[in-house]
Each structure stands twice: as structure tokens, then as C-alpha cells.
Structure 1
């Protein structure tokens, strides 16, 4: 279809067959069964329902049954959780693939920060469940809607975050296939982006000659040229999608926005000679030279060079010397928003030892 924005996933690209082991937790919630229906093999849990004593459902936030259901809830340990649910009898399912990927990522120190951290994995009689620690923050799309164009200081830092996410996924043998703005959330605590929606990730499987075998899964705006030619995508195409996303953040509307698939492909072929791109700083042209290499694979040297060039965008062009400086969509809190005191219980008030009075000198005159 010419106007189709997303491409269906092939089931054989989704794994693993069995869920990774979970850590047992002795804490359980009191049972509270709220009647629910099973639709497309997925339980439609209702608010306040307790799933197997593990988590209490608050509300449903994801309704695409193709990639599993998503709920918000509260764990037995009082942690706010995201609940991913898949049918019990569908082994090659997206949620199981997510579980396999996230457990693999957690085996590497700090890599989980680019995605989400697994809280628990368990199965009931009618579903496979994975709970993730909730990380608050707006989506990149919500941040972008506030301005519809960012300064280079913000573009460089956000693009650096997305590049690190792509590099991490590639390191573990996976492809993103989708860098839509709503896939990424801005974590206000760490002040970095993380990829919350990883339903598009698949293993990076290639043919004997190294050609990619995956299909593109994201918006037409960031689709690589291979997608417009009905070809498969690999690691190189993830970088091409990232490149279009970065240009989008820097210039605002892309020249092919709202065009049909064939017309958008022609515009992308001409983009690097267009007025919009030519007027961008030279560092963008250096990035394009690396991204549009004809090699299917991406070398460590290329990742490193792209990282250095992206850093130049926010440091040299954007004038950001301190990474902690506010992004374009951030502001300093007002005096009313800054807490003036911290309340605590009586038994938490620190005890200040009383100073002992110096002993009076004995009168030796006696």
C-alpha cells in the first residue's frame, strides 16, 4: 500500500521460544479478582485486578494486540510498574522477544539504562507477563511538539542519546527498525532519552553474503531508501533513519512530509543537495558521508566517529559546555515550585547530642 506508514513483522523474526528465568520474590499481594475478558488471546485486565499476587493493575495504556497489551500497575514491593502481557500459547511473540532482549541487555553493566529494567517475569494459566520498573518522563514527540524545531545544543544531545541506543542494540545483535519520536522517553532523573517502546526490535539476521533480512517498521518520514525500493533493512538503515530524525529535529518539517511513499523516496534521494540540507552546518554533511556508506555492516570506528561528530553539534555549534544545561523544552523551577522544607516523622528527627558543661574546677584552696 502506498500510504502505509508501518510494515507488519514476520513471526519468524521474533523470539526467543522460552522466557528467561525470573527472580522469585516472597512478597505477594492479597488476591483481588476482577472479571475480565480474553481478546485475541490477551487478558483485558480491569483496574484493581491482582495478577497472580504479583501486581495490581491500575489501567491499560497499550491497545495494539499485535505487540501485546500494556498496563500500569503496582507491585507487591510498592514499585510502580509497566506490565507487558502476551498470549500463553504464542511462543514466538513480541513480548517474549522483548524479555529476551532486556535480560540480555541487563547482563552488561549500565546497558539497561538505554531501555527499561526488568522487574519480574512470570506466567499464569492464560498469559505470559513481564513487569518493568516504571520510568516517568514525556515522549520525545511530546517534547518536540512544544517547539517543532530545536537548537543545535538540544539536537546534538538528543541525537547522541538515540545513537547510543542504536549502538547498544546493534552490539547485542538486534535492530531497531523504528526510531519514531514516540518510541523514546526523556527521563527527567538521568536527563537522557531511553527507548520505552521496543516492540519493533528483532535479531539482526543476515544472509550468507551479509545482506539484511528484516523489514522496516516505522513511520514513512524516517524510512530508509531501501524501504522505498521494497528492500530489506539492517544496521546501516537504522543509522539512516536516525539521520533523518536528527535532521527533522534541526530543521523542523522534512521536505517529504505528507508525500506518498514513492514521492517521498524521490525527495530523500535529492535531500543532500537540497537547500534545507546544504544550509546545515558542515558536521551534518560529514555524518551523512558515514551513514550512506554502501557497506551493510557498521564498524566500531564508524560508531565512534558518528559519536564524536554528534558531540560537535551540541558543543561547538550549540555552545553547550555543560551537558546538564536545560534542553529547549526545559526551564528552571519557579520559587513556588522549590520545596522550602522536608517533613518527617518525630522518630526520624535526628537527635542532636547536648554539649556537656565543663566540670567545675575543684577548689584546691581547702
Structure 2
């Protein structure tokens, strides 16, 4: 029988070896194409068409007719026309809300509370908007929990913004209009997707980038304020610490000076007290001596007068005695003679 069934004559061939053995150019191309499509499905490809700028193969030469002919032949112009005529930009409701929630929040609160929102930098000058909607300011942004209802509310609001931006009008409330406003702005909302035309998408992206730029500037402002305030607080703390050290040194020097002055005054007081006491003692000694000499002189004068008086009395007594003796002698002689 054929094929042979004997184990000695039958050889088992694995599927991998069989595929390798009978692999053809078509199967190889099919395998490579399958691998390529698998890789493409996991990535976000961007197709680039190479356009020849001129037929001379020289640099810095741009042939407008040749380039337009190549674009027409490649179908790029027709693809762009078809894309611009339809809705080339599509987002799911959740992605749309997450992408443009910042635009809605900024313009809503800017009109309600804080200040008048400006147009984009490429539009007309800013107009003054004096009306303040206090009811809108208290309403929570996108209060609904359903992503489609949030997307509907957001589409209605940004459609008014797109129309006002296109018409170069001041940005007002943007609260009415419904589906007609979205159609005029170039937007449509389905069950799960939001469709936008190219012009509407460009304006919303400009608004989004404008709001992101303001947000970045605001974040930079607060970050720089934080850095500057941190540096200021550190510098202030260092300055205060330095001032405390300097004032403490000055106070210690002043206290030391006061203590030295007080000690000097105390020493001077004791020295002056000692000097004064010694001077008083010497003065008292000299005063006593002077008083003693004066009193002694006075006593000497009194004594001298007393002595003079005693001498005078003695002289008078002696004189009287002599006189009396002489008288008695003469009397005795007279008596004796007689």
C-alpha cells in the first residue's frame, strides 16, 4: 500500500518543517503582510507622501504647476476636499468632554464672576462685557453624570463660542440655540460620537491651546510666586536671624558697658567715700589741733593776764609791805626815841 505504514520506512514530518519545506514566495509575502497589518493595528500610523518640487533635481526651486499636478494625481486635493466637506474629526462623548472641559470652564466662569473673557489673539479687539450672571456662577460645571448629556451641554456652549468667534463678536453667554447652533458651528452629536468640521475643530483647538496657555501662565505665576515667596521667607528669616544676632551683640555690648559703668561708678563711689572720709578725718584732726592751739593761746592769754594781775597784786602787796615796814620802822624809831 501507499504510503508505507512500516515504522522502518515511515518518517514523521512536523508541521513547522513541512511549512518550511513547502514555503513559497506568495506564502512568505502573505506572512509578512499579516505581520505588517498586525503592527499597524497596534500603532497610530501617519502617512507621508513625497512630492518632487522640481524636475531639475536642484535645491531651492519650487515648481508650483508640477507640485499641483502631483497632488491631483495622488488624490490628495480630492481627499482634502472630501475631508473638509464632511466631518473629519470625531471624538467619543467622554473624550470630547475631557478634551474641551477646560474651555467650557474658563469661558463660563470668566463671564460669570471674574472678568470679561477675550477673543483669541488672532481675532478682533476685546469688547467690554458688563453683565454678570450670578446664577450661572453658582451652577456646577457639567452637572450631569451622563457623558452624552455632558457632551450635549458642552457642544451647545462651544458652538456659540465658535459662532461668536467666527463673527468677531464679544463672547457672551452661549447658553441657547441647541442643534441649530451646532449645525451652524459645524458640529454634530450622535449616540456615542461627536463630529466636527475642520474649521470648527481648528477654532476649538485654538481656544483650547489659548486656555492651556493661560493655565500654564497661571501655573507659572503661582509657582514663581511660591518660589519667590519661599526665597523671600528664607531671606526674611535669615535677615531676622542676622538682625537678632546683631541686636543681641549690640545689647550684650550695651549691657557690658552698663555693667562696667555701674562697676566704675561703684568703685568711684567707694574711692570717693574713702577719700572723703580720710579728708574729713584729716580735717577734723587739723581742726582739733587748730582749736587746741587757739584755746591754748586764749588760755595762755588768760593765764598771762592772771599772772600779770597776780604779779601786780604781789608788787602792790610788796610795795605796801615795804611802805608799812618803813612806816612801822619810822614809828618804832620815833617811839623809841621819844
Structure with the largest fraction of strand? 1
Larger Rg: 2
Structure 1 length-normalised TM: 0.20
